[in-house]
Amino acid sequence: MKPSELETMRKSFNTVKERSSSIKDIPSIKRLTSRVQEIKKYSFDNKDELFNQALESFKRNDIEVKFAETSDDALHIIDDLLEEYDAKVIAKAKSNTLGEIGLKEHLNINIIETDLGDRILQLKKVDNKPVHPTGPASHLSVSEIAGIVNESLGVDVGPEPKEIMEVVRSDVLKRLESAGVGISGANAIAAEEGSLVMVHNEGNISIVSLKDLHIIVAGIDKIVPSLEDAISVVKLETTFATGNFVTSYMNVISGPSKTADIEKKLLKNMYGAERVVVILLDNGRSEAIEECLYCIGCGNCIVHCPVYNAVGNEFGFNNYLGGRGVAMSKFIEDDETCFNSGLYMCTLCGLCTLNCPLSIPTNEILENMRKLSTDVGFYPKAHGNIMENVRKNNSPY
Ligand code: SF4
């Protein structure tokens, strides 16, 4: 990332820090935090039972469910579905899980990002990795964004947020007219009801879910016992991600669009998707350390991480940013990826743990991983003469 991008990112992070630090000490939010800690612990301890219950509930609700052990499995399932629908354009919502499986890199068809931040990064084309799970373009100034939009859409907007938003919105809506398939992740899954909960401010997930086919890719760690639990999880995520109590929209999807308003005859595809397919992704989660799976994706760890604030998104793995992303990369990929994602960049300061609503001990996890990584040959090595390197670069490496 460029120094100016890092500076803009730090400014945005400071705003989030101020907002979330004032809200997290409110008694109701403290109670919610304890409740979500219990929910995530219970969900991990009963993961097999909840997984099977979710399968049954989805079936009952007429939601098709498929299991993907790896990213490749998930991509094959998506390929088959898109072929069936002869999809040329798809509407996509923001999702770390879709980033994890490498959807955009894999597909040759036209994917339209519907989240404004993601769409700006998509138009940027190069060096367009997100910097925060809910604020992907927080490192770009309004002038830079105007430049990106003007160059890629051939328009002439000024550095005015509203003007930029309106131009991008009308362009996205026009491009989505021919899209028959929508794809998104999910913030939480309720096993008992067979419901998927998604939060957003822009209303874009509603658009994605109105296409003929809605594909939802979600990690198996998103499954919690009930809809009340799922809503608690997304509420806490919102609080720590944005400093607000709720987002503008909370979609709960529990089946395809249907109506029985004419002689009680069941008809599908009234306004929303006629077919909902959920792909439950493992991709290393079964092997992952319990606490890594507690993550609710608020991104508060990276906002407070000194390393992330200094170097940005090169500390982390794909869309899993910062120390927790480094830890997950060991299970999603391997020791080498974990090493290359920044295993030795972490200062082990523990600020991420202090600011994590789930108290995920990322520093301890990474410290243990370093020991294991050293055993298999992945550790920082000095190149050449150490003293000469120090004299030349002020660093032994
Ligand atoms: S322990 Fe590591 S990952 Fe956590 S805040 Fe400190 S430097 Fe960042």
Give the pLDDT score at 390: 56
Task: Kindly indicate the confidence band of residue 318, based on its pLDDT and cuts at 50, 70 and 90.
Answer: confident
- Residue range 214-237, pLDDT digits in tens: 999 999 999 999 999 999 999 999
Full residue range of the structural domain in which residue 356 is found = 299-375
- What are the DSSP E strand ranges found in the chain? 64-68, 89-92, 110-113, 181-184, 188-190, 195-200, 213-219, 223-224, 249-253, 258-262, 265-268, 275-281, 316-317, 320-321
**Could you give the percent of the chain with pLDDT greater than 90?**
85
Q: How many domains does the chain have?
A: 2
Quick check: CB of 342 below 6 Å from ligand 1?
no
Q: Is the model's pLDDT at 19 over the cut of 90? A: no
Are residue 334 and residue 280 in the same domain, yes or no? no
Residue 386 lies in a domain: no
Residue 275 lies in a domain: yes
What is the mean pLDDT of the segment spanning 319-339?
A: 93
Are residue 303 and residue 191 in the same domain, yes or no? no
Give the pLDDT score at 389: 55
Residue 225 lies in a domain: yes
Residue 70 lies in a domain: yes
Are residue 175 and residue 92 in the same domain, yes or no? yes
Torsion of CA 140, 144, 149, 150, to 10 degrees: 180
Spatial distance between the Cα atoms of 397 and 385, rounded to a whole number of angstroms:
9
Quick check: CB of 309 below 6 Å from ligand 1?
no
Q: Which residue, by CA, sits nearest to atom 4 of ligand 1?
A: 352
Residue 306 lies in a domain: yes
Are residue 261 and residue 368 in the same domain, yes or no? no
Cβ partners under 8 Å of residue 24, min gap 6: 30, 33, 239, 240, 357
For residue 276, give Cα distances in angstroms to 41, 58, 210, 220, 253. Answer: 29, 10, 10, 17, 9
Are residue 146 and residue 208 in the same domain, yes or no? yes
Give the pLDDT score at 391: 62
Q: Is the model's pLDDT at 392 over the cut of 70? A: no
CA of 362 to the centre of ligand 1 (A): 7
Phi-psi label, residue 203: left if phi above 0, alpha if psi -120 to 50, beta otherwise: left
Are residue 321 and residue 227 in the same domain, yes or no? no
Are residue 72 and residue 156 in the same domain, yes or no? yes
Task: Kindly indicate the confidence band of residue 397, based on its pLDDT and cuts at 50, 70 and 90.
Answer: very low
Quick check: CB of 347 below 6 Å from ligand 1?
yes
What is the mean pLDDT of the segment spanning 316-343?
A: 93
Are residue 311 and residue 335 in the same domain, yes or no? yes
Residue 384 lies in a domain: no
What is the mean pLDDT of the segment spanning 140-169?
A: 96
Are residue 184 and residue 141 in the same domain, yes or no? yes
Are residue 202 and residue 82 in the same domain, yes or no? yes
CA of 365 to the centre of ligand 1 (A): 11
Are residue 101 and residue 220 in the same domain, yes or no? yes
Are residue 262 and residue 199 in the same domain, yes or no? yes
Give the pLDDT score at 243: 87
Residue 129 lies in a domain: yes
What is the mean pLDDT of the segment spanning 339-368?
A: 95
What is the mean pLDDT of the segment spanning 271-299?
A: 95
- pTM above 0.85? yes
Q: Is the model's pLDDT at 384 over the cut of 80? A: no
**Could you give the percent of the chain with pLDDT greater than 70?**
96
End-of-domain residue from the set 285, 313, 331: 285
What is the mean pLDDT of the segment spanning 17-38?
A: 90
Quick check: CB of 354 below 6 Å from ligand 1?
no
End-of-domain residue from the set 241, 259, 285: 285
Task: Kindly indicate the confidence band of residue 381, based on its pLDDT and cuts at 50, 70 and 90.
Answer: confident
Pocket test for ligand 1, best of 305, 309, 329, 355 (most atoms within 8 A of CB): 305
Residue 7 lies in a domain: yes
CA of 354 to the centre of ligand 1 (A): 10
- Residue range 262-281, pLDDT digits in tens: 999 999 889 999 999 999 99
